[in-house]
Amino acid sequence: MGNNPMEELFLVEPQEGYKEAFVKMVEEYGAVGEEYYFEMYKKALSDFKGYIQKLIEDRQGCEGWVPTNTFWLTNTSGEIAGVVRIRMSLEHDYVKKYAGHIGYDIAPLSRKKGYGFTLLKLALEKAKRLQFDKVLLTCDDDNVASRRIIEKNKGIFESTIMLNEKNKVLRRYWITLSD
Find all residues with CB under 8 Å of 101, minimum gap 6, and list them: 86, 87, 88, 90, 95, 127, 132, 135, 136, 137
Nearest-Å Rg of the Cα atoms of the chain is 16
Please report, to the nearest 10 degrees, the dihedral formed by the alpha carbons of residues 162, 164, 170, 175 taken in order. -90
Tell me the C-alpha distance between 38 and 40, whole Å. 5
Q: What is the pLDDT of residue 166?
A: 83
Whether this prediction's pTM lies above 0.85 is answered by yes
Total number of residues shown for the chain: 179
Which helix (H) or strand (E) segment holds residue 39: the answer is: helix 35-41
Q: What is the mean pLDDT of residues 26-55?
A: 97
Calpha distance 55→14 (Å, rounded): 8
Stretch 135-155: mean pLDDT: 97
Q: Is the dihedral of CA 56, 58, 146, 154 positive or negative?
A: positive
Residue 165: is its pLDDT beyond 90? no
Backbone angles phi, psi at 100, to 5 degrees: 75, -175
Residues facing residue 140 across a β-bridge: 170
